[in-house]
Amino acid sequence: MNFKDRDIISIHDFSKQELLFILKIAKSMEKKPNLDLLKDKVLATLFFEPSTRTRLSFISAMEQLSGKVIGFSNTGSTSIKKGETLWDTIKMVDAYSDAIAIRHPVEGAARLAAEASSKPVINAGDGANQHPTQTMLDLYTIQKVKGKLDSLHIGMLGDLKYGRTVHSLATALSHFNPTFYFIAPPALQMPQTYLDELKEKKIKFYTAADLLKVSKKLDVLYVTRIQKERFPDPVEYEKYKGVYKLDTSLLPNIKKDLKIMHPLPRVGEIDQSLDATKHAVYFEQAANGIHVRKALLALVLGKI
């Protein structure tokens, strides 16, 4: 499989075989970090929107492979403030770097950047649309902590309406015969278009507002934050913030080997009392981002 110069824009662009191949390379990165693989290569990290984990893990991944990083995390100090278009910004950065990682608040920005650039572009999040490297690290984590991806009972909890991570993860897991449990207040449930997609693929799914109704069935529980920034109306946000708060009282109602994931940051959905339990894998999940991003960088830069 050749990924040289390939753009990583949307999870929809990847077949099951391609996803498994990326996970395999990520595993080899974890086992044996190839320290000089990207020597003399330059990654541009263009963050038009705030990010901690994603930006730092791209930088760290690149530097661990001996590559260099340029970029910005605040558009205030750039020509974008002067009204430069995204297209022009990318055309300029294209000349300075070998690959581009971009996060942008507008949906479709990463796809446009890939069209403007002759270098591989990696989408690090475009508005509420896609965040494929997050999805890949989520898959990697599930495979690692459960030993498989096939036929798992996966719960997704929280903001399923606006949460791009759950949308992309549901799409990616659809390759692996899952049973889904979507747990959210009715107003924040999985959008119908995703449910229709699952029906078409003959994937089993259930919806519930109460976690305890389904918690005993779950192999993995993927918790998401109610995202203030995605709500068009702040009053709506106030209604739903804090609607789920997982703590140790959940433990009698779950399987012994349930793993709890979260893309982080959390703002109270998971109490710290759960952190020390064997169920919590969210910090490990964040750490896995490095292996997956190293794999992707090495692949698109043609070094694997």
Partner 1 sequence: MKKELSISAIKEGSVIDHIPSNVTLKVVDILDLKGIRGIISIATNLSSKAMGKKGIIKISGKDLTKEEVDKIALIAPHATVNIISKYDVKQKIKVAIPSTINRIIKCSNPNCITNNEKVATKFYVLGKDPLKVVCHYCERNMEKEDISLL
CA atoms of 13 and 19, how far apart (whole Å): 10
Tokens of 22: 């990326």
The DSSP line for 270-298 is B-GGGTTSTTB-HHHHHHHHHHHHHHHHH
Nearer Cβ to partner 1 (107/284):
107
The answer to whether residues 92 and 100 touch, using CB atoms and an 8 Å cutoff, is: no
- Counting residues that bind partner 1 (by CB under 8 A) gives 18
Tokens of 153: 């009972």
Nearer Cβ to partner 1 (26/173):
173
Give the neighbor-by-neighbor strand order of the sheet with 121-126.
68-72, 42-47, 99-104, 121-126
| Cβ neighbours around 41 below 10 Å, total | 20
Q: Does 195 bind partner 1 (CB under 8 A)?
A: no
Q: Does 85 bind partner 1 (CB under 8 A)?
A: yes
Interface residue with partner 1 among 16, 36, 74, 87 (CB under 8 A) is 87
Answer left, alpha or beta for residue 229, where phi above 0 means left and psi between -120 and 50 means alpha: alpha
Tokens of 193: 């278009």
Interface residue with partner 1 among 23, 109, 142, 297 (CB under 8 A) is 109
CA atoms of 21 and 2, how far apart (whole Å): 10
| Cβ neighbours around 282 below 10 Å, total | 21
Segment contacting partner 1 by CB under 8 A, of 101-109, 137-145, 148-156, 238-246:
101-109
User: What is the per-residue burial (b if ≥16 Cβ within 10 Å, else e) of 210-243?
Assistant: ebeebbeebbbbbbbbbbeeebeeeeebeebbee
What φ, ψ does residue 185 adopt, rounded to 5°?
Answer: -60, 150
Nearer Cβ to partner 1 (36/229):
229
Shortest Cβ 121–partner 1 spacing (Å):
13
Interface residue with partner 1 among 33, 127, 185, 302 (CB under 8 A) is 127
Q: Does 126 bind partner 1 (CB under 8 A)?
A: yes
CA atoms of 233 and 255, how far apart (whole Å): 37
Task: Map residues 1-30 to x or -, x wherever contact with partner 1 holds by CB under 8 A.
Answer: ---------x-x------------------
Segment contacting partner 1 by CB under 8 A, of 38-46, 51-59, 79-87, 140-148:
79-87
Active site residues: 53-54, 82, 103, 131
Q: Does 107 bind partner 1 (CB under 8 A)?
A: yes
Q: Does 129 bind partner 1 (CB under 8 A)?
A: yes
Nearer Cβ to partner 1 (196/275):
196
Segment contacting partner 1 by CB under 8 A, of 26-34, 50-58, 106-114, 132-140:
106-114
Segment contacting partner 1 by CB under 8 A, of 17-25, 50-58, 62-70, 99-107:
99-107
Q: Is the dihedral of CA 78, 81, 83, 85 positive or negative?
A: positive
Q: Does 84 bind partner 1 (CB under 8 A)?
A: no
- Report which of 288, 236, 239 is spatially closest to residue 259, judged by C-alpha positions: 288
Segment contacting partner 1 by CB under 8 A, of 21-29, 37-45, 124-132, 236-244:
124-132
Residue 65's H or E segment, with its range, is none
Nearer Cβ to partner 1 (21/237):
237
Nearer Cβ to partner 1 (9/59):
9
Binding site for partner 1 (CB under 8 A): 10, 12, 85-87, 105-109, 111-112, 126-130, 193
